[in-house]
Amino acid sequence: MVTTHLSSKGQIVIPSSICKSHRWRPGLEFIIENAGESIILKPIRPFAATSFSQVSGCLNYKGRRKSLADMDKGIKKGAKASDDSR
């Protein structure tokens, strides 16, 4: 068990061992739920939850493998197209 304290500003320091074990980084936002004698901290995820079927579309790709250079070209092309459409 690890202990911490409440500051005069109402802030609590979460020990680094807990942050590391959860892979929490500075700036992460939380939802705080009151649970009677306890509180629950839930990190706000930057992206909505997705199902496997929503992200598995490329698994059946049968074309040639793409190199990192190919992927970089595609990203640059998409970024340019996005800029041109503004």
> How many domains would you assign to the chain?
1
Domain extent, residue 23, equals 1-46
Domain annotation covers residue 25: yes
Domain annotation covers residue 33: yes
pLDDT (tens, 9 = 90+) of the chain, 86 residues, equals: 888 999 999 999 999 999 999 999 999 999 999 999 999 999 997 777 788 888 888 788 888 888 999 999 999 999 988 777 66
Domain annotation covers residue 68: no
Domain annotation covers residue 20: yes
Quote the pLDDT of residue 47: 77
Domain annotation covers residue 65: no
Domain annotation covers residue 22: yes
- Burial call 10-45: b when 16+ CB within 10 Å, e when fewer: eeeeeeeeeeeeeeeeeeeeeeeeeeeeeeeeeeee
The CATH number of whichever domain residue 6 belongs to comes to 2.10.260.10
Domain annotation covers residue 31: yes
Quote the pLDDT of residue 86: 65
